[in-house]
């Protein structure tokens, strides 16, 4: 089944404790993104990757890191989480950067930083 | 001004009603337009693309007005299962090749 998977689905942590949210897609997609969704603000892009080893900042990159060592995986790293990073996070992928076709989303990770 | 603006709603309509949502976008160079559906606390999923000539998929009709920079979604014969948040999505013509999402319009169909 074609899909984007994320783990964990739910996470409660404390300020400053490093965490990683994994993302994996099995569709051989080149373009991958991380979004956060907050009430009234919609989905905002954190980081994106146009292909392996090519990553760049989105709209709200502060406090986050990513890597793209393999085509299928795009982990999101919070080196020192803070309460303002409490949010619903989605990983997404689509075929290529130039093709604005359907974007597939993972099921989401609900993060709470205390 | 937000790049993509939508009325947040909620729109509360009875079953069988026709409901329309509008969305405006700010970048006149945008070329690709979509409606996504998001159920509560779930991931967004593509509902339909929006083409220049307008397009229909069953009970759903999407229209694009480039001159006024707005997109619309019409739902006829609303079902309870249509209750969700509808996200207007537009490509941003930047190096990021990003899709910009509106905040969404919430629809609640009532029995």
Assign B95 a pLDDT band (cuts: 50, 70, 90).
confident
Q: Which of A23, A42, A103 to mutate to test the interface with B (most CBs of B within 10 A)?
A: A42
Assign B31 a pLDDT band (cuts: 50, 70, 90).
confident
- For a pLDDT cut of 70, what percent of chain A falls above it? 100
**pLDDT number for residue B58:** 96
Residues A60-82 have a mean pLDDT of: 97
pLDDT single digits (tens) A9-27: 999 999 999 999 999 999 9
* pLDDT at B94 exceeding the cut of 80: no
Residue with tokens 């079902």: B79
List of chain A residues whose C-beta atoms are within 8 Å of the C-beta of residue B104: 42
* pLDDT at B3 exceeding the cut of 80: yes
Is B94 an interface residue toward A (CB < 8 Å)?
A: no
Residues B86-106 have a mean pLDDT of: 87
Q: What b-and-e string marks burial along A87-104, b requiring 16 or more CB atoms within 10 Å of the CB?
A: bbbbbbbbbebeebeebb
Closest residue, chain A, to B33 (C-alpha): A100
Is B10 an interface residue toward A (CB < 8 Å)?
A: no
**pLDDT number for residue B93:** 59
Cβ neighbours, 10 Å, residue B1: 5
Residues A85-93 have a mean pLDDT of: 97
CB A93 within 8 A of CB A101: no
Is B98 an interface residue toward A (CB < 8 Å)?
A: yes
Residues A62-68 have a mean pLDDT of: 97
Is B102 an interface residue toward A (CB < 8 Å)?
A: yes
CB A75 within 8 A of CB A66: yes
Q: Is B88 exposed, middle or buried (0-12, 13-18, 19+ CB in 10 A)?
A: buried
């Amino acid at each position: 089944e074609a899909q984007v998977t994320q783990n964990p689905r739910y996470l409660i942590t404390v300020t400053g404790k490093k965490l990683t949210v994994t993302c994996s897609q099995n569709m051989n997609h080149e373009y991958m993104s991380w979004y956060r969704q907050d009430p009234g603000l919609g989905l905002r892009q954190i980081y994106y990757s146009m292909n392996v080893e090519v990553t760049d900042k989105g709209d709200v990159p502060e406090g986050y890191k990513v890597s793209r060592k393999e085509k299928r995986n795009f982990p999101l790293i919070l080196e020192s989480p803070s309460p303002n990073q409490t949010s619903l996070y989605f990983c997404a992928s689509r075929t290529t950067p130039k093709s604005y076709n359907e974007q597939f989303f993972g099921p989401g990770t609900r993060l709470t930083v205390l | 001004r937000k790049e993509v603006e939508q009325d947040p709603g909620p729109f509360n309509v009875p079953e069988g009603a026709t409901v329309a949502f509008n969305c405006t976008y700010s970048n006149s160079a945008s070329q690709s337009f979509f409606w996504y559906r998001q159920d509560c606390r779930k991931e967004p999923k593509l509902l339909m693309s929006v083409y220049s000539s307008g397009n229909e998929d069953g009970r759903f009709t999407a229209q694009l007005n480039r001159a006024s920079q707005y997109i619309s979604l019409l739902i006829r014969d609303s079902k309870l299962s249509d209750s969700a948040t509808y996200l207007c999505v537009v490509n941003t013509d930047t190096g990021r090749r990003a899709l910009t999402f509106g905040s969404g319009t919430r629809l609640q169909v009532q029995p």
